[in-house]
Amino acid sequence: MDPSGSLTLDQVTQSLINDVNILTDYLVSAGHPLPSTDRDTPIFTLPDDAPSSAHLARYRILDQAQSLLQLAAGPSEYLSYLQTDYQDIGCLRWLCQYGIFSLVPLQGAIGYADLAAQAKVSEVKLKSVVRMAITNGLFVEESPNNLAHSARSALLQTNPSFHDWASFSMDAGALCAFFMVDADRKWPDLVDTCHTAFNIACSTDLPFFKYIGENSERHRQFSGFMRAMTSGQDVHLNHLVNGWNWDKLGQALVVDLGGSTGHASIALARKFPDLTFIVEDLPEVIAGGPKYLASQEDAQSLRTRVSYKAHSFFDPQPVQDADVYFFRMVMHNWSDDDSVRILTHLVKILKPGACILIMDVVLPDPGTMPASKERLLRVRDLNMLQVFNNPERHIEGWKAIFSRVDKRLVVKEVGQSAGSVLSIIELSLED
């Protein structure tokens, strides 16, 4: 494509054909089903171990599909198609609120009249909402007035975590985006975590995590949302397992800070039998760790190498002989000042040869990666801004934090796996 950004329908179409061939050839050779509109199509287009060439081809296809839409619509229809985005959001929220995904049978179909009666909603409204959702791939009408699941809608019935993601995002995330301008007008000079778009959207004076902790239903939804997010391919644990050279450590101790119930440490322990892990988090979070570990099929072999310790990373670090201290999707929740406090505790006890790993978002310069991938990072950037008044960071922002902690704390490496929206920053102390 023209690096100046000037594109034609023919150019985009030819590039699209080339990348579809690359993706299809790989899927066929790997024995993985081709993407289709079938009800039972795999929820992920690519298998976890797909090579970078396949991931990049898929991202380019997403870019090209968006470009074709923009070129075919022309500038005059930008606002027309923008309306479909917010109506899709409104419809998804409505469908979650009234339990429509669970009321439509996984096999067969249900008439609108019966569905409306079971959901206790107006049949007229139900038809309007569902038929809008159908245009975005949610549900299908197999015959007139009889509704059945599509692959997308079936996922929201069969996977509770994805349903929680939908509910939480529609009830909180979408409203945060809408109220961003209201928060800027109301608190133009305040950047703390109690004066955000989230506070307006949820009518609370509490910061996000305190609000979640005091609202049991929101906490349940948020937990499901996080489970679904971490199962997504762009933040999959495989990018942690395969994205850094863990083998070079040999026999080593790793501390997983803010590690929740230890899903990341467990994934690493399975792949690297020479590593031992201590998962640290707040007492109320870490309490669920042993139960989660016990639920794993290979719990017996993991129990000797994965342990749990109640600890706040704002306090001095009690484990002072570890070889690696790592944070996965943790630091972006905290301001620059808080991040400095967290890392300072580690630098004070970091033994020679030990390192700190941060797996988190590193924002790219505009246009330096596929637009479809960049858009996902920009979404995360705005989410953080709207909820915490703390946007995601470019590498310069990360380095500024490290410099404040200790001038000897340097970035040794920044890596990003193909298909991942997270980068791994390796830090070490240099004399």
Q: Which of 402, 386, 401 is nearest to 173 (CA)?
A: 386
Nearest CA-CA partner of 50 in 240, 256, 242: 242
Rg (CA), the chain: 23
Phi/psi for 47 (5° steps) reads -70, 160
CB 61 within 8 A of CB 20: yes
CA distance 385 to 382: 5
Residue with tokens 């171990």: 49
- In angstroms, the CA 295 to CA 192 distance is 39
- d(C-alpha 401, C-alpha 141), whole Å: 54
Residue position matching structure tokens 């620059």: 336
∠ CA 348-353-356, rounded to 5°: 60
CA dihedral over 404, 409, 412, 418, signed as positive or negative: negative
Q: Which residues are tagged catalytic? A: 332
